[in-house]
Amino acid sequence: MSDLTGKVAIVTGSTKGIGRAIAEHLLEAGASVVVNARSAGPVEAIALALGDRVLGIVADVGDAIQCQRLVDETVEHFGRLDILVNNAGLGIFKPLSEMTVEEWQLQVDVNLGSVFYCSKAALPHLSATTDGFIVNIASLASRNPFAGGTGYNASKFGVLGLTEAMMLDVRYDDVRVSIVMPGSVDTYFNHREQVPVDPDGDPRAGSVNRADLVAVITEQLGRLTDEIGKSLKAMDFAGAKGGPAVLTGGGAELAGCAEFVQNALGRPVRIGKPQTLRGLPPAHAAPGFSTLVGLCLYAAKDPVDIRTVKAKYQTQTRLSGLGLVQRVWRAARDYF
């Protein structure tokens, strides 16, 4: 992290979890930090634990008036404001038919409203520093809807849209705006959620903690991406020479998979979808079969064969006539 000595940051919802970790890292980088929550006890405890450059302010950021007070007290105490991290959030996971109007409104106010309220209150002070920064903490739920996420998805989708509009609104005001969309993190938030072992079958099968499940999945994905990264480096496709990566296969469209691979490889990742094959029976039109057929059609154009690439790029050739037919036959034989 850059040297932030002399900078002042507000981190909403920062007495535990992701918010506390952000506050701690900002302190390590030299910034003074305002920690915040709705309850006085946790705020006082975390302010005492983190040291002299920390100010604790109790405020419900789902309320516009309290957000203004949060910013005003920060500037009054430290004399400036350089960084705003909109981290506060909550989730109530129920089907639409079971969610109350009050539960819906609470999620919208805290998850989405707080980003608008705090950013609007902080903007004049951030602009005055000529190097202001707003970071909005969203979620993979900002792009990936799921059953039971009516209020949570709606509010997080809104944070993404609000952030992108804010980027355009303040781009000439010396304020930078960014968004972070984390997946499941090993915090109190995800330890509360239990995932059924057999969601469509016998409820007696039990459940597993969501954070523990995600930890197992990400460990395996981490090993896979490490090997992919080593292979790309060995083939001289790393660094400035590396282009976007295409993620394909049965799990490519799982929520968060592409984002995880993108972060691990440090390069843009897009999802490659097999072409729809019309006129085939359902079994043959399934993604697995379509992917294999696509490989054959792709091989017919004689692309680079990744099995033979060493440290240098292999040039392409184009075949026609009998050579093309033989190429398709070899590809079908190898892949099927």
The catalytic residues are 152
Three-state DSSP class for residue 95: coil
Contact by Cβ (8 Å): 142, 157: yes
* Amino acid found at 172: Y
Q: Are 36 and 110 in contact (CB under 8 A)?
A: no
Report the alpha-carbon distance of residue 262 to residue 256 in Å, rounded. Answer: 10
Q: CA–CA separation, 150 vs 147, rounded Å? A: 7
For 132, the token pair is 């202001």
Beta bridge partners of 209: 194
Tell me the backbone φ, ψ of residue 186, rounded to 5 degrees: -75, 75
Count of CB atoms situated within 10 Å of the CB of 248:
16
Which residues on neighbouring strands pair with residue 180, listed in sequence order? 137
* H-state helical runs in 33-179: 40-50, 64-78, 101-107, 114-128, 150-169
CA distance 168 to 146: 29
- 107, 151 contact by CB (below 8 A): yes
Question: Could you give the CA distance from residue 291 to residue 331 in angstroms, rounded to a whole number?
Answer: 13
Residue type, 128: A
C-alpha span between 92 and 12 (Å, rounded): 19
**Smallest Cα–Cα separation from 60: which of 50, 52, 51, 70?**
70
Residues 6+ positions from 10 with CB-CB distance below 8 Å:
33, 34, 36, 70, 71, 74, 81, 83, 84, 85, 118, 122
